[in-house]
Structure 1
């Protein structure tokens, strides 16, 4: 179970992304049930060494070792690297792809995110 918090009307949490064995913990991660794909800030992707051979308008996909939100973890996960997170002033966005894979349950009474499976 992972804690959630509200900041300026946004539902936020923390997330860890591991790429080629290097971990980066992201502290301001938007939980979105409207965006299809999980997205990482372009600026922070560079900190992890995630770059694209064919970057088009600061948007591309990369497979990372894993993404975890508390105990919820998905291995070999494809993330979008996009300036959308930068525009929203968050480090990353957890999208429906991650939420569906872990069988996410968002409890707004207890402000927690839990899931039914680890992939």
Structure 2
């Protein structure tokens, strides 16, 4: 199980993403059941070496496959993420979308403010 917090009307958690032998802990990740894809901020993707400056355009980002993505005990290897500028969304490091939530069989418990999964990936 992974803890969730409600802050500024957003359901937030933490996420670890890796690319090759490098990893980064993202502290402010919105859990968004209306987002089709999982998103990582361009700044964090650059810090991991996942993209070059010219990869991100004003019209949107790019999709790259990270080595792994994990939220607490929920982990998926070779997972595609969208990389976008998230400056308009506040100080978010990323967005945990339906693609990840469905794949792990996520269960969001708002009473205990936790995220768990029913599948081992």
Task: Give the aligned partner of residue 80 of structure 1.
Answer: 82
**Residues 42, 86 of structure 1: 8 Å contact kept:** no
Task: Give the aligned partner of residue 11 of structure 1.
Answer: 11
Scaled by the length of structure 1, what TM-score is found? Answer: 0.94
Aligned length: 118
Task: Give the aligned partner of residue 119 of structure 2.
Answer: 117
Scaled by the length of structure 2, what TM-score is found? Answer: 0.92
The answer to whether 1:24 aligns with 2:24 is yes
Q: In structure 2, the residue corresponding to 1:62 is in which secondary structure?
A: strand
> Out of 70, 73, 85, which is 1:71 matched to?
73
Gaps of 5+ in 1: none
**Residues 32, 95 of structure 1: 8 Å contact kept:** yes
Gaps of 5+ in 2: none
Task: Give the aligned partner of residue 44 of structure 2.
Answer: 44
Alpha-carbon distance between aligned partners in 1 of 2:87 and 2:20, rounded to the nearest angstrom? 23
Would you identify which runs of 4 or more consecutive aligned residues in structure 1 move more than 6 Å? none
The answer to whether 1:94 aligns with 2:60 is no
